[in-house]
Amino acid sequence: MKSVGTLAVVGATGQVGAVMRHILLERQLAFDRLRFFASPRSAGTFLEFDGHQLEVEDVETADLAGIDYALFSIGATASKIYAPRFAEAGAIVIDNSSAYRMHPDVPLVVPEVNPGDAAHRALGIIANPNCTTMIAMSPLAIIDRLFGLNRVVAATYQAASGAGRAGVAELSAQLERPNLGALTFDGGAVDFAPPVKFPAVLAGNVIPLAGELHDGDTSEEEKFVNESRKILGLPDLRVHATCVRVPVFTGHSIAIVAECQTPPEVGRLVAELDRHKGCQVVDLPTPMASTGIDPVLVGRIRLDRSSTNGVAFFVSGDNLRKGAALNAIQILEMLLQ
């Protein structure tokens, strides 16, 4: 693998930025120079990296010359402004936000699934999928290759960290309230502070609403439908999703029923999933077990007897790693090979 040259991490102070810094060290990526960027609010602080203190530069005012690659995790609004500036200054941008994912000239890439798409980056920008979509892509790509995907029905179990540090802080504060067990008989038994980041109290609860509603579906559900089609290269794939937030810190999970063109064979599927480096087949996939590791955990693999060629499974994956930081760095590694 060749050296990155100059690598920028944009949104370095954020939650995904922190995981990116961690994984860059973990994977010992070689670069000549590393630069950290953040919004004006967070710029000027220092972040430790491999024993060195690096000043965080202001993404608004910094000189962008000489950057070869930029890993962006700074939110869609900021990405729309700054990703083109980095790209125009010569960097290849790998953007973790939703800003460019469905842009026809921006590839949306999971290296284990559609590596070839990365070449068609007319804007100099490659998009990283939504953290929930990501978790499902490797198993669904394998099912499509083996049996041909017709339809996907998904119900998600999404962690608070998918909503950033503020989501984690809100859940943490709620879980510190005393006597949560009083909720067993009375849903109003505990006096929580009014929720801000989520539309209801998340501790001791589940919330079937993530993002904004458009014509019945949420933006999170639309992302799952549209991004799955683009990554899998199946523009007409029939997909239904219900996206639900659960009181988990990290690790998104999805219960999936996949309807296929030919009869699925569980044994063959398990063998192919096991061979795939992005997946690990386990008896009991849970978000807690998936937190801090690279592969997604796939289990409860069984035939769906309610459809002709259906197969069901449950998948859990670390939304901050494979769902965000790791996949972006894997795209970068792929470009360097």
Residues in the interface with a copy of itself (CB under 8 A) total 74
- Is 131 annotated as catalytic? yes
Nearer Cβ to a copy of itself (293/336): 293
Least Å distance between CB 101 and a copy of itself? Answer: 20
Question: Whole-angstrom Cα distance, residue 22 to residue 171?
Answer: 24
Residues from 240 through 269 that contact a copy of itself (CB under 8 A): 240, 242, 244, 246-251, 253, 255, 257, 266
Residues from 275 through 314 that contact a copy of itself (CB under 8 A): 284-293, 299-307, 310, 312, 314
Strands (E), 113-248: 125-127, 149-157, 213-214, 217-218, 238-242
Question: Whole-angstrom Cα distance, residue 245 to residue 218?
Answer: 12
What amino acid is encoded at 65 in this protein? Answer: A
Q: Does 217 engage in binding with a copy of itself (CB under 8 A)? A: yes
Using the rule CB under 8 A, which residue among 209, 270, 334, 336 binds a copy of itself? Answer: 209
Task: Give the end-to-end CA distance of the chain in Å, rounded to a whole number.
Answer: 5
Stretch that binds a copy of itself, among 82-90, 106-114, 204-212, 269-277 (CB under 8 A): 204-212
Q: Does 194 engage in binding with a copy of itself (CB under 8 A)? A: no
Question: Whole-angstrom Cα distance, residue 135 to residue 298?
Answer: 10
What amino acid is encoded at 170 in this protein? Answer: E
Cα of 110 vs its chain's centroid, Å = 10
Q: Does 60 engage in binding with a copy of itself (CB under 8 A)? A: no
Phi-psi region of 152 (alpha: psi -120 to 50; beta: other; left: phi over 0): beta
Q: Quick one: which of 204, 156, 140 has its CA closest to 316?
A: 156
Using the rule CB under 8 A, which residue among 89, 102, 118, 183 binds a copy of itself? Answer: 183
Q: Does 226 engage in binding with a copy of itself (CB under 8 A)? A: no
Q: Does 204 engage in binding with a copy of itself (CB under 8 A)? A: yes
Residues from 317 through 336 that contact a copy of itself (CB under 8 A): 320
Least Å distance between CB 303 and a copy of itself? Answer: 7
Alpha-helical segments (H) within 233-325: 266-275, 287-290
The structure tokens 């693998």 sit at: 1
Question: Whole-angstrom Cα distance, residue 251 to residue 149?
Answer: 25
Least Å distance between CB 316 and a copy of itself? Answer: 8
- Which one of 52, 240, 252, 276 is the catalytic residue? 252
Q: Does 155 engage in binding with a copy of itself (CB under 8 A)? A: yes
- Is 103 annotated as catalytic? no
Q: Does 199 engage in binding with a copy of itself (CB under 8 A)? A: yes
- Which one of 22, 52, 131, 214 is the catalytic residue? 131
Which two structure tokens, joined as six digits, stand for 76? 């869609």
Least Å distance between CB 312 and a copy of itself? Answer: 6
What mask of x and - would describe binding to a copy of itself in positions 161 to 180, judged by CB under 8 A?
x------xx-xx--x----x
Q: Quick one: which of 188, 29, 166, 141 has its CA closest to 94?
A: 29
Q: Quick one: which of 52, 137, 62, 67 has its CA closest to 101?
A: 137
| Active site members | 131, 252
